[in-house]
Amino acid sequence: MTAATYQYVDLPDASVVTTRALLRARENITDTVAARAMMCIHGGAGFGKTLAVNTCLRELEPGEDVRRVTFRARPTARAVRYELFAALGLPGAPPRRPSEFDRLLKAALAEKPRTLVVDEAQWLNGEAFEYFRYLWDDPATRLAIVFVGGEGCHTVLRREPMLSSRIFIWQHFTRLTPSEVLEVVPLFHPIWADADPADIAFADSRAAHGNFRNWARLTAHVRIGLARTGRPRVDTEVLRWAFSRLGTAA
């Protein structure tokens, strides 16, 4: 897998590691898409949710039409309509009247099976969630929806009983446990492959804390430290230097 898979940092030679959470996500997403259902993947920032979803969706049956929408603020139903119009690549100008807009979107979603990934779903409010439910509930649409969001996503969704009662699968992403860290980090990047397990545990306890995004940032700095010092493998001195760059007390 390319380094671009890991968000916010360019990390050559990084690999996607098949964690237990990713295996569960693969199974859950596959079942959700097959059922044309809705699911929610939620958890803290940097725990690997988006990475897992992107990896699993690439493994779906060839021809599965996957579209993504992302919201950074609390959108209205009108904003959701426009985002879907763009995501579906519909021609012409968006309709001005809500009723016409709704008919257009439902017609497009009825053309063939589609999977919609709604990222940063914790930003959605009741109006926006209700609009997704409205589209999914239409008997003509053949729509699977994967909501992906932070810790608040589960809470927000649960406040919408009409939608939450229709969620097929809930999956909560958590931090890697210390034992999982020792299993997966040596597979994550070559610099950790021959590292002392004690150094990996030290790095996790002081800087990464079972968070894959933290591990990606730490790995990028450790790579620089090894290249500049010419050292062949990770040691506590290089780790402490990397910690200092991350603002982490050694």
Mean pLDDT of 67-91: 91
Residues 133 and 187 grouped into a single domain = no
Average pLDDT, the chain: 90
The verdict on 153 and 59 lying in the same domain is: yes
What single DSSP character describes residue 12?
A: T
User: Does residue 42 have a pLDDT over 60?
Assistant: yes
User: What was the pLDDT predicted at 250?
Assistant: 57
194 and 125 fall within a common domain: no
Q: Tell me the pTM.
A: 0.87
One domain for residues 127 and 180: no
Please report which confidence band the pLDDT of residue 234 belongs to, taking 50, 70 and 90 as the band edges: very high
What is the pLDDT at residue 235? 95
Q: What pLDDT sits at residue 7?
A: 52
Q: What pLDDT, on the 0 to 100 scale, is given for residue 4?
A: 42
3-state secondary structure at position 170: strand
Measured distance CA(7)–CA(146) in Å, rounded: 19
Q: Domain end: 112, 147, 173, which one?
A: 173
Asked if 197 and 161 sit in the same domain, the reply is no
Pairing of strands 114-119, 65-70: parallel
Residue 182 and residue 156 share a domain: no
Domain span at residue 80 reads: 20-173
Name the domain boundary from 142, 173, 204: 173
Quote the tokens at residue 70: 């992302």
The pLDDT of residue 126 is above 70: yes
- Kindly report the CATH number assigned to the domain that includes residue 219: 1.10.8
DSSP string, 57-97: HHTSPTT-EEEEEE-SS---HHHHHHHHHHHTT--SPPPSS
Whether 148 and 223 share a structural domain: no
- Of 80 and 1, which is predicted with more confidence? 80
CA distance 97 to 53: 34
Closest by CA to 134, choosing from 173, 91, 163, 175, is: 163
Do residues 183 and 238 share a domain?
A: yes
Are 24 and 142 contained in the same domain? yes
In a shared domain, residues 90 and 200:
no
Q: What is the mean pLDDT of residues 153-170?
A: 86
Residues 24 and 9 in one domain: no
Segment 98-126 mean pLDDT: 93
Please give the tally of structural domains in the chain: 2
The residue from 145, 173, 201 where one domain ends is 173
My answer on whether 76 and 88 are in the same domain is: yes
